Amino acid sequence: MGTSPCTNSSTCQTERSPHPLRKSRYVVCLAILLGLMVLAACTQDEPKQSSKEKATAEKVDESKDAKPDKGTKDDPYGYIMKAPEAPETLQEVSHYPEGELAHLKFRDEKDQPIILKEIDKLPELDGSEGEDVYEAFWNKLVELYAMEYKDPKELWEQLKVKSFGDPDIDDPRYQFKDGLNVEIILDASGSMKADVNGKSKMDLAKEAIRSFAKTLPEDANIALRVYGHKGSGSDEDKELSCKANEKVFGFSGYDESKMNSAIDKIEPKGWTSVADSLDQAQKDLSAFPADQNTNIIYLVSDGIETCDGDPLAAAKSLKDSDVQPIVNVIGFDVDAAGQKQLKDVATSAEGSYANVYNQDELTSEFDRAKEVAEKWEQWKRKALGENFSEKVSNGFDILGFSARWGLDNLKENNNLTATLLYLRDNDRLTGDAYEFISNKNDERRRNILDMQSQFEEDMKKVNEENYEKMNEMINEKYNSNKE
């Protein structure tokens, strides 16, 4: 416990330098190590990183030639004072953006140099600075390492999807109707060209859509809408690109040849018009009123609105319209700002939000609609007749959701603890400063575990109470409508 993490794999096992960042020899070694890492990354034998780890490393590495954003001589704490307050309530924790170092591991040999580059920006504290400075230092650490703790209301929405058709469910969107209509809205802005594990995000999205469309029942209707697929990301092309919002397939039954032809023509080029795409989807679905149709929308985007629209207002209008769709917002490898806006869009539409970082995760999100379609098809064929009645009994989903909170909390705490020990052992965080921030770390760990235990207990009651009562409780206790 008392030894600090080390970047030298051989000598550090037997001895530790008390001030590694202050010695020129260490700096030279670190530079060589970084150089070797870059060369290794270019070989075919490099161990594969997950898409999120790779994206994080690339984002941090983009600034390697820039001067660290540290405090100045006159304002040594300016850097940490910019950090937002660390979240404390469940609502705050589940809406706090994921940190840029969240998916790296401090004790991992390949990750540590990347992390140290960020940690080096932090000021040294000797315990004489005061609690305001300690609090700001803690806030900055949380901003760097915070994991994405999923909102329990997202689990509730997922459970409602799984219980689609249950006569006890009071939300009309999840009741059986004569028609089933699914519209996919695909972001074709320029950022969808970005690479994830050797393929562009656009290519991965296309494959997931092709696979999903094949699974829909013959009687179901499907449509594909795309935006940002014309012009470019330049200011001169903004108007052209923002107006490029087009339904390229449907509404109609699935036709593989026509669907593939429409998908093949899509190329990522320009700007992101989330608001207009939701407005257009509302018009697309206007022919299918909710009293006779189950309507589902999937919005796949990798960024925030850039066409000056108001996506939250558009999402609320969609929710209040006659089509009343089940809205699923998918953030594809999205940064913190994008996550926040897209989560808010899902909340405004009373829908669900999920972050995905690869094709498997994207496909998994589409599978939820496939489950609805399968139940709808069975009902349509009268396979279950009037005897259909299925209470939510998805204990594995609840336990799995809860377990992810626990695992994410463990990863986060390991990073925070290792960082604090490193700073302490190198005399960069000492005295009352170390004690204050270390206590904050322990408190956050306990607090999140308590939250996990409480919402797991609450969600298990879904199996025991009627939907109307549970919906009221969850909306009161886990209301995610936050400014």
Q: Where are the alpha helices (DSSP H) in 96-200?
A: 112-119, 131-145, 152-162
Residue with tokens 């995610």: 480
Q: What is the reported pLDDT for 456? A: 80
Is residue 72 very low, low, confident or very high in pLDDT (cuts 50, 70, 90)? low
Q: What is the reported pLDDT for 465? A: 62
Average pLDDT value over all residues in the chain: 80
Q: What is the reported pLDDT for 438? A: 95
The residues, any chain, with a CB within 8 Å of residue 211's CB and separated by 6 or more, are: 363, 366
Is residue 375 very low, low, confident or very high in pLDDT (cuts 50, 70, 90)? confident
Is residue 160 very low, low, confident or very high in pLDDT (cuts 50, 70, 90)? confident
Question: 219 or 61: which carries more pLDDT confidence?
Answer: 219
Q: What is the pLDDT of residues 289-334, one digit of tens each?
A: 999 999 999 999 999 999 999 999 999 999 999 999 999 999 998 8
- CA distances 151 to 155, 164, 468, 480, Å, are 7, 21, 20, 8
Domain 166-387 sits in CATH at 3.40.50.410
Q: What is the reported pLDDT for 154? A: 75
Q: What is the reported pLDDT for 51? A: 45
Q: What is the reported pLDDT for 24? A: 40
Q: Rounded to whole angstroms, how far apart are CA atoms 217 and 200?
A: 29
The residues, any chain, with a CB within 8 Å of residue 246's CB and separated by 6 or more, are: 225, 226, 227, 229
Q: What is the pLDDT of residues 251-266, one digit of tens each?
A: 999 999 999 999 999 9
Q: What is the pLDDT of residues 89-144, one digit of tens each?
A: 988 998 898 899 998 999 999 999 999 999 999 999 999 999 999 999 999 999 99
Of 133-137, 220-224, 318-322, 339-343, minimum mean pLDDT range: 339-343
Q: What is the reported pLDDT for 441? A: 95
Every domain of the chain with CATH number 3.40.50.410 lies at: 166-387
Q: What is the reported pLDDT for 46? A: 33
**3-state SS, residue 161:** helix
Instruction: Give the CA angle between residues 102, 5, 71 to the nearest 5°.
Output: 60
Is residue 87 very low, low, confident or very high in pLDDT (cuts 50, 70, 90)? very high
Q: Where are the alpha helices (DSSP H) in 197-267?
A: 201-214, 238-242, 256-264
Cα–chain center distance at 124: 32
- Over residues 140-160, mean pLDDT: 84
Q: What is the reported pLDDT for 389? A: 43
Q: What is the pLDDT of residues 389-401, one digit of tens each?
A: 444 455 667 777 8
Q: What is the reported pLDDT for 70? A: 54
Is residue 39 very low, low, confident or very high in pLDDT (cuts 50, 70, 90)? very low
